[in-house]
Amino acid sequence: MPDLSDVTRGRLLYGGDYNPEQWPEEVWPEDVRLMKEAGVNSVTLGVFSWSKLEPRPGERDFGWLDRLMDLMHDSGVGVVLATPTASPPPWMGHLHPDTLPRDAEGRTEWWGGRQHFSHSSAVYRRYAAAITEDLAARYAGHPALTLWHINNEYCTYDFGDEAAARFRSWLRHRYGTLDALNTAWGTAFWSQGYGDWAEVLPPRHAHYLKNPTQVLDFKRFTSDMLLECYTAERDIVRRHTPHLPVTTNFMPLWAGQDAWRWAEEEDVVSVDLYPDPRDPLGAQSGALVQDMTRSQARGPWMLMEQAAGAVNWRRVNRPKPRGLNRLWSLQAVARGADAVCYFQWRQSRQGAEKFHSGMVGHAGEQGRTYQEVKRLGADLARIAPHVSGGRITADVAVLHDWHSWWAGDQEARPSHEVDYPRVLSAWHRALWQAGLTTDFAHPGHDLSGYRLVVVPQLYLLTDAAVDSLLAYVRGGGTLVCGFLTGVADQDDRVRPGGMDARLRELFGIRTLHEWWPLEPGETADCEGGLRGTLWSEELEPDGTADETVPYEGGELDGLPAVLRKGRAWYVSTLPEPEALRALLTRVATGAGVRPALDGLPDGVEAVRRGDLLFLLNHDREPVTVDVPGTHHDLLTEATVTDRITLGRYGAAVLKP
């Protein structure tokens, strides 16, 4: 199978979404000049071009795209060609209202924005296949074409009638019989028993709380329907160009797609990443997504989109301060990206994203944004021969599963303060701040290569997933589990005792009496100064734990907050950031896990990729870092002996 290395061929890709159809053609040569000056070697064409390619049903206008493909080829810029199917032309909704999705309240999502397509609509799928077929046939032999980009950020839901029919087929396939569905969904409660498949619906607007397993299955179904749309287009382009890889761009930690499953269907895994430049933990949220994407790719991956400056979709949109675009781009490369790309090349003057930055902003060539883009292009070209294709080894894996997220993130739960992505992020942050390189993994993956496995929260665990955790510990691994783990089975049925019995035994818990969720700002104090937030638990130990940290004071006084039995740890609260970092550092050290570099000052990130050591200063103040030995800094060409000073948002890429 072709992969990203067939596109990079020893380089790092640099460029972004190029939407030149919004500009007069006179601008195109100017674009090319600026691209060349900035070292751009890859652009993504056609993401939202459907109405231009098919102005009326069945008509085709490829002339403008032919000229662009030729222009890119003549300029030495490779093309990532997108299928335009994320934004159907207005004629489609007008002629075929059934292609428009409906939300849970029954409201139609009309054209006039984008992504107004029903994943379940046979008519939409037919038109999408037809334009994909013609696009692939036309450009299959074009020398500029390097990679296929299917659709864009698949993210839609549909609760309409055609989706309802497909949902029923999906459920028939999953359960076989209505009896099995009734059992899985627990429909004996509230008189929800189904007697005929025709009665089964998506979880539409209802008077009171919806059936949680119905909601869970609808999320599974939605991810699967979107995946069907993706694979249908992928198979078409593959037929024409079996030698070219295919991707679709994920949104970071997006709830709507089981990205583990999706990644299996991609040749290249790509993601769009927009940390808030004002967020003091923006670098860590970026690192989380980068680690996740690398783990899905099982190797180098593609940063398909980021912003050179401001976005336009937060309440207050600030640009990246001087140096930050470069730093965060190098961070992505450090964590395995072989492509650094943006939305979009030239900032729009019209349309909904005219206040979203581009590589060339409204200020044009002299603007700071483009000047920094140019500098970064030179940096990437300098380091590329040493970096491209390089691998990252992590001794720690953080487990994450979309199905568990979907099941846990529902109405009527013990605490709405528990937000899964925030819990996941808190654990990842502790590892990141401790300088420990971290992969993500699914509980069903082979975990045996990791010294330490961390489960921030897996509310839903299948029997197979429990088996896998137990086997991992039996095989010599160290496991740390956070609260609300192993509560439900695959149907979101609470396990007897409120937590899987085998896990309770693993940690030395006899009885989980009650959960004691905490209010914002409330803490659960524990012995030794550890303070828990968000959650606490009334646990009765079975006396087999080797070590416990008890709650101190309050209702849970003396009961264990943290238990360790052998190499298995259970943490029944969310320790404050410093305490969690200290705990994980201790556990990691015990498991033989070393940070990428010892003695790192706060705010400095160190990552090893291949034989290179990336150092990234996330602070505005200069900082000096000890790096024993003699190294060559690929960015400055300087020799570095024992220590290096990094300036404001400074970076170094050290080669031994």
Which residues participate in the annotated binding site for substrate?
A: 114, 152, 313
Binding residue (CB under 6 A) for ligand GLA from 326, 356, 608, 631: 356
Adjacent-strand bridge partners of 302:
270, 339
Active-site pick, 153, 233, 266, 372: 153
In the complex, the smallest distance separating the C-beta of residue 501 from ligand GLA, rounded to whole angstroms, is 44
The reply to whether omega before 344 is within 30° of 0 (cis) is yes
In the complex, the smallest distance separating the C-beta of residue 312 from ligand GLA, rounded to whole angstroms, is 7
Helix (H, G, I), strand (E, B) or coil at 247: strand
List the Cα angle 617/619/625 in 5-degree steps: 40
Token digits for 225?
């329907």
Single-letter residue type at 40: V
Backbone phi and psi for residue 88, each to the nearest 5 degrees, phi listed first: -65, 150
User: What is the size of the binding site for ligand GLA (CB under 6 A)?
Assistant: 9
List the Cα angle 475/479/483 in 5-degree steps: 145
In the complex, the smallest distance separating the C-beta of residue 305 from ligand GLA, rounded to whole angstroms, is 5
How far apart CA 112 and CA 503 sit, in angstroms, is 51
Nearer to ligand GLA, 153 or 372 (CB): 153
Binding residue (CB under 6 A) for ligand GLA from 274, 345, 472, 535: 274
x/- contact string, 142-161, with ligand GLA (CB under 6 A)? ----------xx--------
**Residue bearing tokens 């500029």:** 144
Q: Is 343 in the site for ligand GLA (CB under 6 A)?
A: yes
> Which is it for strands 249-250 and 246-247: parallel, antiparallel or unpaired?
unpaired
Cβ-based neighbours of 45, under 8 Å, separated by 6 or more: 18, 20, 65, 68, 69, 72, 79, 80, 81, 82
In the complex, the smallest distance separating the C-beta of residue 597 from ligand GLA, rounded to whole angstroms, is 33
Is 233 a residue of the active site? Answer: no
> Which is it for strands 337-342 and 13-18: parallel, antiparallel or unpaired?
parallel
Nearer to ligand GLA, 345 or 614 (CB): 345
In the complex, the smallest distance separating the C-beta of residue 356 from ligand GLA, rounded to whole angstroms, is 5
**Residue bearing tokens 């994450």:** 400
Residue 284's region, left for phi above 0, alpha for psi from -120 to 50, else beta, is: alpha
The alpha-helical segments, DSSP class H, found in 434-558 are: 463-474, 501-507
Nearer to ligand GLA, 54 or 272 (CB): 272
Q: Are 554 and 528 in contact (CB under 8 A)?
A: no
Residues tagged in the binding site annotation: 114, 152, 313
**Residue bearing tokens 């502790």:** 430
DSSP class of residue 401? -
Q: Are 65 and 71 in contact (CB under 8 A)?
A: no
State which of positions 626-645 bind ligand GLA (CB under 6 A).
none
Cβ-based neighbours of 257, under 8 Å, separated by 6 or more: 154, 155, 223, 226, 227, 250, 402
How far apart CA 11 and CA 289 sit, in angstroms, is 22
Q: Are 537 and 543 in contact (CB under 8 A)?
A: no
- Residue 493, Cβ density class (10 Å: 0-12 exposed, 13-18 middle, ≥19 buried): middle
Q: Give the nearest residue (CB) to ligand GLA.
A: 272
Nearer to ligand GLA, 353 or 619 (CB): 353
Q: Is 111 in the site for ligand GLA (CB under 6 A)?
A: no
In the complex, the smallest distance separating the C-beta of residue 86 from ligand GLA, rounded to whole angstroms, is 8
List the Cα angle 145/147/151 in 5-degree steps: 115
Active-site pick, 305, 372, 537, 605: 305
* Secondary structure of 56-85 as H, E, C letters: CCCCCCCHHHHHHHHHHHHCCCEEEEECCC
**Residue bearing tokens 């102005």:** 55
In the complex, the smallest distance separating the C-beta of residue 62 from ligand GLA, rounded to whole angstroms, is 22
Nearer to ligand GLA, 149 or 564 (CB): 149
In the complex, the smallest distance separating the C-beta of residue 459 from ligand GLA, rounded to whole angstroms, is 29
Backbone phi and psi for residue 289, each to the nearest 5 degrees, phi listed first: -65, -40
In the complex, the smallest distance separating the C-beta of residue 286 from ligand GLA, rounded to whole angstroms, is 14
Binding residue (CB under 6 A) for ligand GLA from 311, 579, 596, 653: 311
Nearer to ligand GLA, 245 or 275 (CB): 275
Q: Which of 31, 17, 83 is nearest to 53 (CA)?
A: 83
Nearer to ligand GLA, 147 or 455 (CB): 147
Nearer to ligand GLA, 258 or 272 (CB): 272
Helix (H, G, I), strand (E, B) or coil at 557: coil
Is 411 a residue of the active site? Answer: no
Nearer to ligand GLA, 216 or 251 (CB): 251
Binding residue (CB under 6 A) for ligand GLA from 305, 492, 537, 633: 305
x/- contact string, 57-86, with ligand GLA (CB under 6 A)? ------------------------------
Q: Is 253 in the site for ligand GLA (CB under 6 A)?
A: no
Nearer to ligand GLA, 99 or 249 (CB): 249
Rg (CA), the chain: 26
In the complex, the smallest distance separating the C-beta of residue 307 from ligand GLA, rounded to whole angstroms, is 6
For 263, 396, 633, the CA distances from 437, given in Å and listed in that order, are 21, 7, 21
Binding residue (CB under 6 A) for ligand GLA from 54, 224, 258, 272: 272
Residues with catalytic annotation? 153, 305
Interface residues toward ligand GLA, by CB under 6 A:
152-153, 272, 274, 305, 311, 343, 353, 356
